[in-house]
Structure 1
Amino acid sequence: MTAPVTIPTALQGPWRGGVLAVLAGFAQAASLAWPSSGQPLWGLQWVSIAVLAWLVRPPVPWRLAAWYGGVFASAWLVGTFWWLFISMHTYGGLDAPLAVLAVLALAGFLASYYAAALALFAWLAPRNSRGLVAVSFGAAWLLAELARGTWWTGFPWGASGYAHVDGPLAVLARTVGVYGIGFVAATLAMLAVQAQRGDLRRLRTGLLGVALLGGLALLGWQRHCALEQCAPPLQPPTQPLTLALLQGNIPQDEKFQPGSGVPLALRWYAQELKRAQADLVIAPETAIPLLPQQLLPGYLEGLEQHYRTGPQAALLGIPLGDMRQGYTNSVLGWLPGPEAQYRYDKHHLVPFGEFIPPLFKWFTEMMNIPLGDFNRGALAQPPMHWRGQRIAPNICYEDLFGEELAARFIDPAQAPTIFVNFSNIAWFGDSLAIDQHLHISRMRALEFERPMVRATNTGATAVIDHRGVVTHQLPRHTRAVLIAQVRGHDGPPTPYAFWVARWGLWPMWLLAALVLLLTWHAQRSAARPVVAG
């Protein structure tokens, strides 16, 4: 006869545990960008997910685990992208109560992935293998992160791994990416929870966790040594490229107004594009807020002629297209020579902002957002070749999707040496969205070991080197030009770029599925009755 399964007293009241889950969820949000500094706090992220692991550790029933997971994720996601309220209410014209409901509904919908994944974990988790419990918790977390990042076009903003862009786990980015970092952090959190008591089996688990943490600390030190250039580089550096990054700081409520923001943008960007002294001049997403056919005759042609006959090149954010062919959110490039023009069309469009999902036209009609339905560009568009560099643009939140950027590494001759992100975060005001997006770009630099240059309307306009370090940055919400140098990186792709370019995120899905399948098999084996011979 076995002893009855008991639940710790602190877990017997789901509402008390729910309050703790809410607090831990808000801590998870703060770990991505601390409100006062905008910096990520990897230790806080790990502690917050350890609290969740403690709440759902066996033998918690699956319904209670789903409750805690859903409450935690709802608080975390609301605390992460609350600034969507600004875009919908302040600039989109949606009534405040409806904008609040929209943010809560999105967070609740995405939180359902975590509720389902942790319910599955609680249902499968074995009682006699604490190491497997930890790995299966990490696998369930990974499953939820992947679902959030890919289903329904995906919205992976604020994935847990971004909190570790400065931590010891950042060394794993070049191998397993942001989702793999989240998996490792969740696994280590449950290991710590499982090792809280002193019996031999738990002690072994704890020692395993300590060994893993020690190994990661060593890797972190090695990364620090690389950042401080303790050893000479293995390859000679390429020649630096001088950049001029234009930050127009056009107020979002004026950006598309013909009597204020539009003439200001046309005047200021034309002026700076013509007088900037740099190898490459870059203006942000929709720096020119009108279609070419809406501009005064000769405006765009004059800028193009300036670069075709000079020693410089330029990249400029502008909408393109017409009613017959459709519209694109694009980047135009100009280089010296009679036919030297480059174009990039945004591939991963923003729901409601750049395309209207089925059955939601009524929602977009309630908001005052121009150009709400764009055509989609190809996945792996070629880079712009300039001064020995292969410069690969991405627009707005396209840099959230590392698996899509990785598609550009299939052909070594076209693999980027420099990424450039064109953004307009003015939609979200003076909020933590700016800091969060900066750390997202830093994570991409770590995954691919390629510099990421950011040209934005209001910030963060910055240069990030191949180590994920911000080397140059403009003050936010200022109208200014950042002059900086960047060194492109060539050579073989990182392990992450290699496998993601070929198989996407399927290896991560397979890892999560195999771990959970192994957990299910272990649970079934443990449940079989022992028959005496």
Structure 2
Amino acid sequence: MLDQHSYQQHISVKIFSVFLLFALGAVLAASAELTYGGWIQIPILSILWWRLDSPVANTLKKQFGLGLLFGIGYFVVGLWWIYISLHDVGGINALLACIGVLLLSAYVALYFSLATLAISAFSKNRLTGLFLAASWVLAEFLRGYIFTGFPWMGFAETQFNGPFAPIAPFFGGLACTFLVIWTSWEIYQLRKHITSSLLLITSALAISLFASSFSFTKPTGEPISVRLIQGNFEQSLKFNPQAIGQQIDFYTREITKEAANLIIIPETAFPWPQPNLPFGLLQYLQTFSNSSGSNILLGLIGEVPKENGVQYSNRATGLSPNQPPYQYDKSHLVPFGEFIPPGFQWFVKAFHVPMSDFARGDLKQAPLTIVRKGQDDLHAAITICYEDVFGGELAYRIQNSDKPVNLLINMTNLAWFGDSQAPTQQLRLSQLRSLETGLPALRATNTGITAVLGPDGKLLQSLPEFTQTTLSANVQAYAGKTPYVIWGNLPILVLSCLLLLWGLIRHRRF
């Protein structure tokens, strides 16, 4: 039996641990927004390992609970902007919106807490950091796959501003995540193994620096002129018929104001089913394309035939000079926003969002062909908003395309999330995609961040958020494939599985 003083001390330690783990997660998420966030996150993670490798987490159950608290703190801070879409735009009660954010945060935090169990699940030795990193990679992969996946706010995209970004063209974002976890563990181990840990950390940083000297893609053809039109229309106006007409008029005027090799408007910038658009609008834009030599990419609502009528799709329609229209239907849909999981019709009714059950496009769709008079055609792989999160899917599409991909295009509408860090988070994801593929990227957004990225993911040009304007730029297309495009996530997943298998064998043996 514990005396009263010991009991109070025990409770105080528990409260401190709960607060510390939640706060650590919150600080880790906030640090992602800093200029050198990818560097800062690594020592913060080493503090997490110190707490989870202490007597306060001396059972798997306690470790799981503390890891879950850490994950909830991380995701509540990182994903709080979902409250804006639920409450400010969707009209859900404030308390229910907060509960929604908390529940989503708790769900994705489960993957973090399961990954931390590797600290105690295997016999502790100098290899524990590798087993922990492998466990984290598999948890992150599953987080991006189960229930269609929600891998937002991983450590990989933060590494664009960190030491392990040069690894991305070789083995992708998951490999960056592996190195972040392993390196942070070795920092924690400096207290026990200062010489070997320091040597391992230095070696990892040196290898990453050496990897930055490799380039797998190269410029092709002359730069193309590009116009990215940022309309800055509030999400609440998307389903107002009068506002829809004003929005369509604005984009039509801006498109036809000046010719360019490529003109892009954002996701659902024409927020109306394609057959219901103003009569002759697409024909008018096609005529402008023919006469000016401009390739035009439009974000609109498509219609896909189904058994008992039609189903809407989140579509990009391309108009090129004297060519048939191009069509890309979004393949990776957002749960609840674009498709309704079975049993959740009540949620969508509470959310008051029209057209919330879209048709899903094929993963393998042809890239957009950019026609240039007197020059070879270029080809661009298109992603619509949420699809930019899934690097493996984009790599698969590029690798299996029957035409060489020279450029990435992301069409996005983040007006759902107001003035939050969501646009900067997605910008980092786009930067990681460019780095993984070695291709420049164009981001056409409604409220921001509209930008041009280089093949190394660096920001070349951008527009201020929440402004109605156009970004004009000359963009150099690239040709070639990185190892990551060719191999995808297979190497890092195989390595992680082998490490965990080795860990289980060692644990049973010893």
Structural mapping, 1:222-371, within 5 Å: 222=213, 235=218, 237-259=220-242, 261-321=243-303, 324-337=309-322, 339-371=323-355
Matched letter for residue 15 of structure 1? I
Q: Describe the SS at the equivalent of 2:254.
A: helix
Structural mapping, 1:132-143, within 5 Å: 132-143=127-138
TM-score, normalised by the number of residues in structure 2 = 0.92
Cα displacement string for residues 376-433 of structure 1 (whole angstroms, at most 9, x for unaligned residues): 0010211122232111211011010011111223346423110100000000001100
Structure 2 segments unaligned to the other structure (5+ residues)? 1-8
Mapped partners of 2:134, 2:276: distance in 1: 52
Mapped partners of 1:152, 1:411: distance in 2: 25
Residues 234/369 of structure 1: CA separation in 2 closer, same or farther (3 Å cut)? closer
The answer to whether the 8 Å contact 1:11/1:17 transfers is no
The answer to whether structure 1 residue 29 and structure 2 residue 29 are counterparts is yes
The answer to whether structure 1 residue 389 and structure 2 residue 378 are counterparts is yes
2:450 to 428, 440, 461: 461
The answer to whether the 8 Å contact 1:10/1:17 transfers is no
Mapped partners of 1:187, 1:10: distance in 2: 32
The answer to whether the 8 Å contact 2:295/2:319 transfers is yes
The answer to whether structure 1 residue 101 and structure 2 residue 99 are counterparts is yes
Mapped partners of 2:123, 2:198: distance in 1: 18
Matched letter for residue 341 of structure 1? P
Residues 440/256 of structure 1: CA separation in 2 closer, same or farther (3 Å cut)? same
Cα displacement string for residues 429-462 of structure 1 (whole angstroms, at most 9, x for unaligned residues): 0110011010100000000000110000000000
Task: Tell which deviates more after alignment, 10-19 or 273-282.
Answer: 10-19
Q: Describe the SS at the equivalent of 2:460.
A: strand
1:44 to 40, 44, 53: 40
Aligned to 1:210: 202
The answer to whether the 8 Å contact 1:449/1:467 transfers is yes
Aligned to 2:4: none
Mapped partners of 2:219, 2:392: distance in 1: 28
Q: CA deviation at 1:57?
A: 2.7
Matched letter for residue 345 of structure 2? K
Residues 368/477 of structure 1: CA separation in 2 closer, same or farther (3 Å cut)? same
Q: CA deviation at 1:211?
A: 2.8
Mapped partners of 2:320, 2:111: distance in 1: 46
Aligned to 1:195: 190
Aligned to 1:472: 461
Structural mapping, 1:78-89, within 5 Å: 78-89=76-87
Task: Tell which deviates more after alignment, 152-161 or 387-396.
Answer: 387-396
Structural mapping, 1:361-440, within 5 Å: 361-386=345-370, 387=372, 388-411=377-400, 413-440=402-429
Mapped partners of 1:413, 1:495: distance in 2: 18
Aligned to 1:182: 177
The answer to whether the 8 Å contact 1:31/1:163 transfers is no
Q: CA deviation at 1:236?
A: 5.4
Q: Describe the SS at the equivalent of 2:235.
A: coil
Q: CA deviation at 1:147?
A: 1.7
The answer to whether the 8 Å contact 1:22/1:72 transfers is yes
Q: Report the identity percentage.
A: 34
Q: Describe the SS at the equivalent of 2:173.
A: helix
The answer to whether the 8 Å contact 1:408/1:414 transfers is no
2:121 to 121, 124, 128: 124
Q: CA deviation at 1:320?
A: 1.1
The answer to whether the 8 Å contact 1:62/1:122 transfers is no
2:145 to 145, 150, 153: 150
Aligned to 1:15: 15
1:445 to 431, 434, 447: 434
The answer to whether the 8 Å contact 1:399/1:444 transfers is yes
The answer to whether the 8 Å contact 2:132/2:182 transfers is yes
Cα displacement string for residues 273-297 of structure 1 (whole angstroms, at most 9, x for unaligned residues): 1112311110110111111232232
Q: Describe the SS at the equivalent of 1:195.
A: helix
Mapped partners of 1:422, 1:373: distance in 2: 19
Residues 407/215 of structure 1: CA separation in 2 closer, same or farther (3 Å cut)? closer
Q: CA deviation at 1:210?
A: 3.0
Residues 444/40 of structure 1: CA separation in 2 closer, same or farther (3 Å cut)? farther
Mapped partners of 2:40, 2:268: distance in 1: 37
Mapped partners of 2:467, 2:298: distance in 1: 19
1:172 to 135, 156, 167: 167
The answer to whether the 8 Å contact 2:364/2:401 transfers is no
Q: CA deviation at 1:318?
A: 0.5
The answer to whether the 8 Å contact 1:40/1:165 transfers is no
The answer to whether structure 1 residue 510 and structure 2 residue 494 are counterparts is yes
Mapped partners of 1:423, 1:327: distance in 2: 18
Matched letter for residue 216 of structure 1? S
Matched letter for residue 416 of structure 2? W
Mapped partners of 1:61, 1:398: distance in 2: 39
Q: CA deviation at 1:235?
A: 4.7
Mapped partners of 2:404, 2:14: distance in 1: 51
The answer to whether structure 1 residue 57 and structure 2 residue 46 are counterparts is no
Task: Tell which deviates more after alignment, 94-103 or 299-308.
Answer: 299-308
Q: Describe the SS at the equivalent of 1:319.
A: strand
The answer to whether the 8 Å contact 1:41/1:163 transfers is yes
Q: Describe the SS at the equivalent of 1:243.
A: strand
Mapped partners of 2:11, 2:158: distance in 1: 28
* Aligned residues: CA RMSD: 2.2
Q: CA deviation at 1:10?
A: 11
Residues 384/14 of structure 1: CA separation in 2 closer, same or farther (3 Å cut)? same
Q: CA deviation at 1:242?
A: 0.5
Structure 1 segments unaligned to the other structure (5+ residues)? 1-8, 227-232, 527-533
Q: CA deviation at 1:176?
A: 1.6
Matched letter for residue 394 of structure 1? T
Aligned to 2:6: none
TM-score, normalised by the number of residues in structure 1 = 0.88
